């Protein structure tokens, strides 16, 4: 994958997002593009930033922290979207702007305690196991309300919304069902927690379905940076 390919991939993804916004009668620009750069070198992130992207998602802590420091001359917004071990929260709290993969109160408390006071509050999305798969990370939908309540009371976090990775599905209707369930849960919780303005759902394979169901942030890796080995 060269920098030139990245520029045309980004244009393609942005065109898909614009078409999906239009099809869903949603305002142009209502969906943010989070470029998922896990396993890809800092040089490709730099190329994507030169093409206009600002928000990048990382799954692996050390790799993410290395890229953040290699690219500190750029004005980027970094999102942690991978599994979190409770003894690894400090570097996340210190280096990232958002965390999408919070799925237990203990992690949230540690992130709040460890957030440096000279940085703005850390933006948090709760990860929901919306397809209720036995092996998947994320809160059961019935647990989300109580954890949202706790996070809303923590001083150095701001609860922004929900994130999910639905089970793969082949038809559009099957893709949309869990995405709709996440949207409904988000809408219900946002009545109580007005800072919840973010619905983090949609990846390379289902971003059209996610935008049709109200996603405000799609997380796209493969269709920007190419397949991961
Ligand atoms: C890897 C990853 C993505 C990107 O997936 P693609 O199918 O490559 O677009 C999105 N979200 C999460 C949480 C991921 O781990």
pLDDT tens-digit map of 174-187: 999 999 999 999 99
Residue 207's CB is within 10 A of a number of other CB atoms, namely 22
Is residue 224 a contact partner of residue 48, using CB atoms and an 8 Å limit? yes
Write the pLDDT tens digit of every residue in 84-140: 999 999 999 999 999 999 999 999 999 999 999 999 999 999 999 999 888 889 999
Query: Rounded to the nearest 10 degrees, how much is the dihedral formed by the CA atoms of 87, 153, 75, 70?
Result: 0
Whether residue 148 contacts residue 112, with contact meaning beta carbons closer than 8 Å, is answered with no
- Using CB distances shorter than 6 Å, the residues near ligand 1 are 36, 38, 59, 81, 165, 203-205, 219-223
Q: What is the position in ligand 1's atom list of the atom closest to the CA of 220?
A: 9
Q: What is the pLDDT of residue 60?
A: 97
Query: Residue 25 — left, alpha, or beta (φ > 0 → left; ψ -120 to 50 → alpha)?
Result: left
CB 20 within 8 A of CB 208: yes
CB atoms closer than 10 angstroms to residue 73: 7
Q: Which atom of ligand 1 is nearest to the CA of 204?
A: 9
In this predicted structure, the answer to whether residue 173 has a pLDDT above a threshold of 80 is: yes
Instruction: Please give the C-alpha separations between residue 67 and each of 13, 73, 79, 93, 226, in angstroms, as whole numbers.
Output: 23, 11, 12, 16, 18
Q: If pLDDT is split at 50, 70 and 90, which confidence band does 4 have?
A: confident
């Amino acid at each position: 994958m060269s920098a030139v390919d990245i520029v045309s991939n980004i244009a393609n993804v942005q065109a898909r997002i614009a078409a999906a916004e239009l099809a869903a009668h949603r305002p142009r620009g209502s969906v943010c593009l989070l470029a998922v750069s896990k396993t890809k070198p800092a040089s490709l992130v730099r190329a994507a930033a030169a093409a206009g992207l600002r928000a990048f998602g990382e799954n692996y802590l050390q790799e993410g922290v290395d890229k953040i420091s290699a690219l500190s001359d750029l004005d980027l917004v970094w999102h942690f979207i991978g599994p979190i071990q409770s003894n690894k929260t400090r570097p996340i709290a210190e280096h990232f702007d958002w965390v999408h993969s919070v799925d237990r109160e203990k992690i949230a408390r540690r992130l709040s305690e460890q957030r440096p006071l000279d940085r703005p509050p850390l933006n948090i999305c709760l990860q929901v196991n919306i397809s209720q798969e036995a092996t998947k990370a994320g809160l059961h939908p019935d647990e989300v309300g109580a954890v949202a309540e706790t996070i809303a009371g923590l001083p150095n976090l701001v609860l922004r919304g929900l994130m999910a990775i639905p089970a793969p599905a082949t038809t559009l209707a099957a893709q949309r069902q869990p995405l709709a369930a996440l949207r409904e849960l988000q809408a219900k919780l946002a009545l109580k927690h007005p800072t919840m303005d973010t619905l983090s759902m949609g990846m390379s394979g289902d971003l059209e379905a996610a935008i049709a169901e109200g996603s405000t942030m799609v997380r796209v890796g493969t269709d920007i940076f190419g397949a991961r080995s």
